[in-house]
Structure 1
Amino acid sequence: MRVLVVDDEPLARRGIIARLAREEDMTVVGEAADGASAVSAMNELKPDLVFIDIAMPALDGLSAVAMLPWEHRPIVIFVSAFDQFAIQAFQVRALDYLLKPIDDDRFSESVARAKEAWLARPHRSTTPSQPSRFTVRVGAREEVVDIAHVDWIEADGDYATLHLGPRTLLLREPLHKLASRLDPDQFVRIHRSTIVRVSRVAQIQALTNRDAMIRLTDGTALRVSRTYTQALRQALFQFGAS
C-alpha cells in the first residue's frame, strides 16, 4: 500500500513513518504539514491510505479530506490529540480514529483494518499514466530517453538521476512522484532513495540486519532496505513467472 502522512508536527510525522517502516507491504510515498498540502498530495500521489491530523493551521484535516470526491478518496485514518472530532471523522467515512499519544497495539490494529479495507476494494487506485520516454536536459539541448534503457534511478533532491549503463542523466522530477508513475511490473523500489528495473537484478544477498544487497547485470551493487526486501522478492518472483 502507498501511504501519505499528514501532520503539522514533524515529530508526529516521524513517529508514524517509523511505525510504518515495520510494515513490509506499506510504502510512505509522501508527507504534508498542512491541510492544503495534503489535498495537493492526495490528488498528485494518489495514495491508498492517508494518516492525517485534524487540528492543523488554515485548513484542518477534516476539511481537507472532505474536499476530495468520495470516489477519489484514499482510505483515511485520522490521528488527533482530541476525541471530540470522532463523529465528524466518521461522517467523512474515515476508517479509524487514533488518539495521540498513539498506542502501538492500537496502531497495529488500525493498520490491519486498513489492509483489509484496501484488499476488499473492487477497484484499487492505480498508477497515473506510465511514461515510455523521458525528456531530459543535457547541456543546452534536450534529449529523449527510452525508459527501456533505464537500469536504475536514485533520488537527488528534487530531481531523479537516471542510470543507463555508464551514463547518468538528471530528470527534473522528485523520486516519490516518479515512483507513482512507473510500471510496477518493470520497476520496484528498493530504498527510500532508489528504484531499480526488475529485469536488471542478477543477484540478491540477505544481510544480517534484514537488509539485502543486490547486484545488477552490469555489476552495480545496491543496498536494499529491509522495508522493501519483501516487495523486491515478490517482484522478482512475478517477473520470473511471467
Structure 2
Amino acid sequence: MIKVLIVDDEPRARAELACLLRDAPDIEIQGECANAVEAIGAINRAPPDVVFLDIQMPLISGLEMLAMLDPARMPRIVFLTAYDEYAVQAFEEHAFDYLLKPTDPARLEKTLERLRRDQAPQDVTALAGNGQLRQIPCSGLNSIFLMRLDEIEFVASRLGGIFIIGADGQERFTELTLRTLEDKTSLFRCHRQHLVNTERIKEIRFVENGLAEIRTLADQTVPVSRHYLGPLMSRLGIE
C-alpha cells in the first residue's frame, strides 16, 4: 500500500482528490491537512510515502514547507497547482510530478503509475524556496504565529515537543524538528536539547565539570554541554 497525505487549504479540492484516490486499490489516505503547519506535524508523527502538496497556501507556501521538513522524514512529493507555466517547467526539469487543478482522473492515474514504478528519492533542494528559514511557524490556539529569527532567544527540546523561547519570555510550540532548525537557521547547538541565538548571548558562565551556561539579553538561562562548549566559543570568536 502507498500511504498518502493530502495538503491543500481548499476543503473542496481535498475532498475531490481524496474521492479519486479512493478508487485506487493500493492507495491508503493517511490524512488530510489544511495548511503547512498541520502537514509538518503529520509528516513528523507518521511519515507518509507520498504527499500531494498544494503550492499556493496562505502564510506558508508548499515550496516553503519543503524547507521546513526533516530530510530524514521526507516523503515523495506530487505538487498540486493551478496552471503556472514557470512552475510546471521547474517541476518537469527536476523530475517532480505535478497535477493541475482541478485534477483530471486520467492524469492522476499516470501519476499513480509513476509512483508505483519509481521509488527513487527526490532532491527537494533543486526547487526554489528550500533555502535558509527567515521565520519559524509556531502553533497557537486556533492560530499560526510566524516568529522572526531575531525574536528568538533559544530553542528547547522537551517531552512535549520543540519550543521556541522569545525575548518576551513566552514559549511557543513548533512542529519543526531540532535538526531542521539547526540545519536551516543560524541558531547554534549548545546542548543536545538546546539551540541558541548567538546574537542574543550576553554572558557565558563556567560551572562545575566543564559545563557552562548562557545568560541571554533577556536574562534567560540556557545550558551548554562540554561537547558543544568549544564549538560555541569558536563561533563567538573566543579563543
TM-score (structure 2 length as normaliser): 0.46
TM (normalized to structure 1)?
Answer: 0.45
Pair member with larger Rg: 2
